[in-house]
Structures are given as structure tokens and as C-alpha cells.
Amino acid sequence: MLTADDPSPLPPSWAGGILTIDLDALAANYRSLRDRLAPGIVCAAAVKADAYGLGARKVVPVLHAAGCRTFFVAHLAEGVEIRPLLDADSTIVVLNGAMPGTEADLHAHGLVPVLNSVEQVAAWRSLARVRGTSLPAVLQVDSGMSRFGLSEDNLRAMADRPDALAGITPLLVMSHLACADEPAHPANHAQRASFLRLRDLLPPVPASLAASSGLFMGDVWHFDMVRPGAALYGINPTPGWPNPMRPVVRLQARIVQTRMIGPGTAVGYGAAFIADRPSRIATLAVGYGDGFPRAIGGHGTAILPARPEIGLPIVGRMSMDCLAVDVTELDDTPLPPGTALDLIGPHCPIEAAALAAGTIGYELLTGLGARYHRIYTAK
Ligand SMILES: *Cc1c(COP(=O)(O)O)cnc(C)c1O
């Protein structure tokens, strides 16, 4: 069933590609992650990059209804976009913190910055001084990823200065795991040990280390809050193991035309595919201009939903607005123009498509373009 406020203004039949987002599966994924936590541990949600390409305006209210009250975005503008969707009972944390000069804007929109550096701490402290009030913030420590966060030296210098956090109310101390998708990687334990040590240099506040994959590594990684993103959207948080999450995204591409070609006939730019047998080729109306990765040409698979057992190879180089699929194995199954094949779906998971494109599910989802007809389903 379609939700009433389907955001795509154009009829679905106009679109070459159809992106269906299952909001019930999204909510179920949130609840299943939360149910893995001991009572009292907070399950936040990463909704940065437009909720991993799925549409933050749709995703955020569903997560709120499922019980989520802490949302992580990367940029000020992303926080401003979702702030009106949430009541004052919800906290929106801006992972990158405030760019210089935007501290007052961040505060005015009711957003909480992550303070990643001494400069960001100083800027937030001075805004608090100017306002004559205390301002909430999340403190990030660098436990070994060398990306964001205060270093051990920074923290020791701060610990020697009683006014280092004057006017700042720390809500949380956080860090991020670099190798949680490989639970046995020694960097995980090193980061956890470093996190524990660095946390002790700060006032006692709740702590957070794990995102999707870290959540599945077990209780000692959960601390007081976990911050999953990918798993909510159906990306497998346990690579190499069966996906414990429900699929949220289905991407379909519609057939424009089919043709029979003989052996030796080329398909697409650069004649990169040459048929070695009499072949039936379908041209689908999705290309790299839709954000579907061009690198999948020659590697990926499409599925006709009625024949899920047959993987249909995406052949040749992908064009901006179309791609070619070898549908020979379907024999003479009718494939009238407009027929939809799955590019991401129950029988072609995100991970498989991403692997075929030489990338990861995260990049595949966040790259999903604006040209698809989007359908949000909910019971
Ligand atoms: C993106 C991000 C998350 C969510 O990560 P997933 O792997 O998608 O669960 C959590 N914390 C931080 C700091 C992030 O940048």
C-alpha cells in the first residue's frame, strides 16, 4: 500500500526506475536492534546523508514512532532539515560539529554539536560565554581512527585546566570503531581500551562507541548508547554471515525494449560486450545518471521477480540513462516494454550489487539518485 503523501509528483509510469522503501521494515529493524541491548541502553539512529539516501523526511518520523529519540546527522544543514520533524523530546547531534562561524546557527536550530577538536571546544565555550548560559555538546575522543576527536594530549591539557569545559554541558562522550565489520580485528580491542582510558580524562558522562557492526559484537561494546545507521536500512551489519536485518530497499528498472542479436554482435559503449551465442538483450531505463554505479556494468545481475532463480547478467558498459541485461536464459518469457526487473531486491541484495560494482552498500544507497519514482510503503 502506498502512503498518502507519496512525495513523487509524477506518475510512476513516467519513471525508468522505481525505488521502493519499506517503512515497516525500517521500523522493525530499529526495534530489533534496540531489543539486542540491555535495558537502559539507548539506541540512537544515524540519519546522515539523507538517511543513507532513503529520504530523511520519511525515515526520521518512522524511527521516532518506533521509539528513537537521538538522531545523528553529519552537517548543520541536515540537522536543520529534520529539526521540524521532531519535538523537543528528541536530540539531533551534528557529527562534524560546527564549521567556524556557524556555532550560533547550530544552537539557534536546537542542534547539539559533536566537539571534535580543541578549536571546536573553544568556539562552543565562547558561544556559551557570550550567551551567559551552558550549552549541551557531545565530546568525541580519537580512540585510534585518526579522523575525528580529541587526542590524548588534548584531553590531558584540558584535564589540567579547570575551565576547559566551562559553559559546556557534556551529554555524551563518543568515539568510532574503524574495523567493526571485522570483529576479530585486533584494532577493535585496542580502540576499546583507548576509549576507556580517554573517557577517564573527562567528567563522567554516558559513553558511546558502537555503530551497526559494533552493536553485533556484544554487550561490552554497547556502553550507554549505540548509533546504528546501515543496519536500519537493511545493510548487513555482519559481513560474511547471514543478514539479520530486514530488507528496506528495492530498486527496479523498467524495460524499454528487447532485441535478439547474433553471435559476434556488440552491446553498448566501447563494444565492451560481444555476444558469443544468439542472445536476447533487454535495455533498461536506469543508468549512472540515476546514481546506479557505472562500475556494475559487466558484473552485476538483474532479476525478473517471476523467475527469481535466474540471475540475468548486466552486460557491457552502462550508459547514463540505460543499461543492458542479457535475458537469454528467460527463453521466450514475454518481456513487454515497461516490465520491471530488480536491481536491488529480495534476490539481489544490496551487498551483491555493491560487490559487483566494487563498492559497499553504504555507497550504493547514498548514491541513489533523484530520478527514480520513490514509493514509501507502510501498513
Ligand atoms: C555513520 C556513523 C555511524 C553509523 O554507522 P553505521 O556503520 O552506518 O551503523 C555511527 N557513528 C558515527 C560517528 C558515524 O559517522
Q: Is 320 annotated as a binding residue?
A: yes
What's the pTM value of the predicted model, to 2 decimals? 0.96
Is there a single domain that holds both residue 335 and residue 283? yes
**Where residue 74 sits, what CATH number does that domain have?**
3.20.20.10
Q: Is 323 exposed, middle or buried (0-12, 13-18, 19+ CB in 10 A)?
A: buried
Q: Which of 167, 200, 233 is the last residue of a domain?
A: 233
Q: Once rounded to an integer, what is the mean pLDDT over residues 80-93?
A: 97
Contact between 326 and 298 (Cβ < 8 Å): no
CA of 141 to the centre of ligand 1 (A): 15
Structural domain for 294, as ranges: 249-377
Q: Is 147 annotated as a binding residue?
A: yes
Report the 10 Å Cβ neighbour count for 261. 17
Q: Is the CB of 300 under 6 A from ligand 1?
A: no
Tell me: the pLDDT tens digits for 4-26?
A: 455 556 888 899 999 999 999 99
**Residues 6 or more apart in contact with residue 69 via CB below 8 angstroms:** 42, 44, 89, 90, 91
Tell me: the pLDDT tens digits for 115-136?
A: 999 999 999 999 999 999 999 9
Is there a single domain that holds both residue 186 and residue 288? no
Q: Which positions are catalytic?
A: 48, 269
CA-wise closest residue to 169 among 202, 132, 137 = 137
Q: What does the alpha-carbon distance between residue 209 and residue 159 come to, in Å, rounded to a whole number?
A: 21
Is there a single domain that holds both residue 257 and residue 217? no
Tell me: the pLDDT tens digits for 160-208?
A: 998 999 999 999 999 999 999 999 999 999 999 999 999 999 999 999 9
Q: Is the CB of 211 under 6 A from ligand 1?
A: yes
Q: Which of 233, 261, 285 is the last residue of a domain?
A: 233
Q: Is the CB of 280 under 6 A from ligand 1?
A: no
Say yes or no to pLDDT of 108 above 80.
yes
CA of 331 to the centre of ligand 1 (A): 45
Task: Give the closest residue (by CA) to ligand 1 atom 12.
Answer: 176
Say yes or no to pLDDT of 82 above 90.
yes
Q: Does the residue 181 lie in any domain? A: yes
Is there a single domain that holds both residue 196 and residue 48? yes
CA of 278 to the centre of ligand 1 (A): 47
Q: Is the CB of 95 under 6 A from ligand 1?
A: yes
Is there a single domain that holds both residue 110 and residue 219? yes
**Where residue 274 sits, what CATH number does that domain have?**
2.40.37.10
Is there a single domain that holds both residue 206 and residue 165? yes
Is there a single domain that holds both residue 216 and residue 287? no
Q: Does the residue 29 lie in any domain? A: no
Q: Does the residue 241 lie in any domain? A: no
Is there a single domain that holds both residue 218 and residue 319? no
